[in-house]
A and B are shown apart, each in its own frame.
Chain A
Amino acid sequence: MKRRGFIRSFLVGGLVAALLPLVDWLPQRFRSRRYLRPPGAREEEDFLAACIRCGQCANVCPNKCISLAGLEDGLENLGTPKIVARARACILCMACTQVCPTGALAKLAPTEEGVAAVDMGVAFVITDLCYSYAGRTCGACYHACPLPGKALKVGLFERPTIDADHCVGCGLCEQACIHMPQAIRVMSRAELEART
């Protein structure tokens, strides 16, 4: 009799927890991934398995660019750190990589080598929108880039071109772009490959 009650309660508890993913069916979610992970983040699948959503990265970010995902990005992303570059981009201070308790963000130093090891994504220019490509000299992205001349080069009329090998995807160019909507965007390499 006692064992029966034990098993019944256990099953009820398990069922309640198992029904929880139903919140993932809430309507009006948009899943076009227009955000970046903090620097040092592992491959997306690996990152999701390692990140325990403790929020320490968002807590130490002096730039307040890391926010935590809600249900709009799906249950599997709930509470994970994200950076929306257009709103506020990463300044590569690497404070978040130092505090991550589970190694979801690999530890990087705020030095030249550390910055070179970052791979948040890669920028690409929408030449149809860019002022410089329309003959109006701008160069805002070039002046925002932490690796000018390496990741982002400019030509005539300050036309930007991206060197994908050097671009770390911090998003400062996207934040700085004076065109609305932005003519330069940063997205993860996998997503860029899927789109082009």
Chain B
Amino acid sequence: MRLSNAAMGRGLMVLSIGTRFGVLVLICLLALWTEYLNLKVGYGNARLVELSAGWGMRLFYEASDAFFSFFGDAVVVAQKNAGMTWSIRVGGVPFTDPVALLSVLLQGRVPELGFALGVLLPLLLAAFLGRVFCAYVCPASLLFFAIARVRRLLGSFFYFFDLKVGQSMAWGVLCGSLAVVLYWGHGVWTLILPYFAMGQTIFHSIALGALSVSVYSLVVFTILDLCLGLQFTCRYVCPTGRLLGWVGHRARVVVRREATRCVQQCTACADICPLAVSPKLDQTRDCSLCGECLVACPTQCLSIGRKSK
């Protein structure tokens, strides 16, 4: 039995929310593992951890200890995981944001091998599946997803401004930031990249017990999304999303439309798409395979599959 297109879309949406939550949890865990390492090296004893940090920390300590000990020396294994999304290391494997590599190359530095190879997986993923990073990995897009829901829920009671500017605005942000990086260093990315701001804020608040300045960035992005336009940040500001969208403009797996079943006056898919893609016009550049249009389509003429030539 084949799944109906709407059911598939719903499944994809659930999956995308799940994986993004997974990434969010991973970031929180990475920050918490700093505390774990501290307790492990300092005390190395669950009872002492409970006395100094409480039973909650003891539970976390024992769970982490059992988890890491499974793979070998707990401290060594734990130190193989680190980072805040834009350059992250999981199980010793580095993942790098292409923007980070660009930024380092621009400073005239030869990047380390592991750092440079870290962009391979994100780029390959983007080349084959398109902008899936935005719907399945980016923890900040969870925030923007929620804001889009709020806008839709309250849309029948209030008027929301919906500004549409060109996608080239994100290219402008990318180039402008690279120019700023030349003089002020890579630190500006913590304020510009939404998911880096998210990671920085989470890491600061959990591991360092302080509020990072990047929280102001998140506030600005939230205001942009609420007051300026639907999914404004993802569509027109985020440089990483723009870059991955460009890499994936010939993605193999896209949203397909059965033209015979499509209703002529209907624009449900274009209205709901978070990334300003229009499956209606068969423009699938920037598609993140989030599955929202599959659910919205009244005749279920949209499906996800290999691109037809």
A: residues with CB less than 8 A from B are: 5-18, 20-21, 23-24, 48-64, 67-68, 70-71, 75-80, 95, 98-99, 101-103
| Interchain CA distance A14-B89 in the complex, whole Å | 31
B185:A76 contact, CB within 8 angstroms: yes
Kindly specify which of B1-9, B164-172, B250-258 makes contact with the partner chain: B164-172
A101:B34 contact, CB within 8 angstroms: no
| Interchain CA distance A68-B212 in the complex, whole Å | 9
Give residues of chain B (183-209) contacting chain A, Cβ–Cβ below 8 Å.
183-192, 199-200, 203-204, 207-208
Q: For chain B, which range describes its interface: under 10, 10 to 19, 20 to 34, or 35 or more residues? A: 35 or more
For A21, give its contact among B82, B112, B184, B213 (CB under 8 Å). Answer: B184
**In this complex, what residue of B is CB-closest to A12?**
B169
B200 — which chain A residues lie within 8 A by C-beta?
55, 68, 79
Known pairs A52-B100, A54-B86; A79 contacts B187 (CB<8 A): yes
Q: List 27 A-B contacts (CB under 8 A).
A: A5-B166, A9-B167, A9-B168, A9-B172, A10-B171, A10-B172, A13-B170, A14-B172, A16-B172, A17-B180, A49-B109, A52-B103, A52-B104, A52-B189, A54-B87, A54-B100, A55-B82, A55-B83, A57-B82, A59-B81, A61-B34, A62-B37, A68-B204, A78-B191, A98-B79, A99-B79, A103-B112
Within the complex, the shortest CB–CB distance from B78 to chain A, in Å, comes to 8
Known pairs A13-B176, A54-B86, A54-B87; A20 contacts B188 (CB<8 A): yes
**In this complex, what residue of B is CB-closest to A72?**
B213
B154 — which chain A residues lie within 8 A by C-beta?
none
B199 — which chain A residues lie within 8 A by C-beta?
55
| Interchain CA distance A102-B105 in the complex, whole Å | 11
Within the complex, the shortest CB–CB distance from A23 to chain B, in Å, comes to 7
B: residues with CB less than 8 A from A are: 30-31, 33-35, 37-38, 40-42, 75, 78-79, 81-84, 86-89, 94, 96, 100, 103-104, 107-109, 111-112, 114-115, 118, 165-177, 179-180, 183-192, 199-200, 203-204, 207-208, 210, 212-213, 236-237
B41:A62 contact, CB within 8 angstroms: yes
| Interchain CA distance A85-B226 in the complex, whole Å | 43
In addition to A15-B172, A17-B179, A102-B112, 16 A-B residue pairs with Cβ atoms within 8 Å of each other are A13-B173, A13-B175, A14-B173, A16-B176, A17-B180, A20-B191, A52-B103, A54-B84, A62-B41, A68-B203, A76-B184, A77-B187, A78-B187, A101-B112, A101-B118, A103-B112
Interface of chain A, main secondary structure: helix
| Interchain CA distance A79-B213 in the complex, whole Å | 10
B185 — which chain A residues lie within 8 A by C-beta?
48-49, 51, 75-78
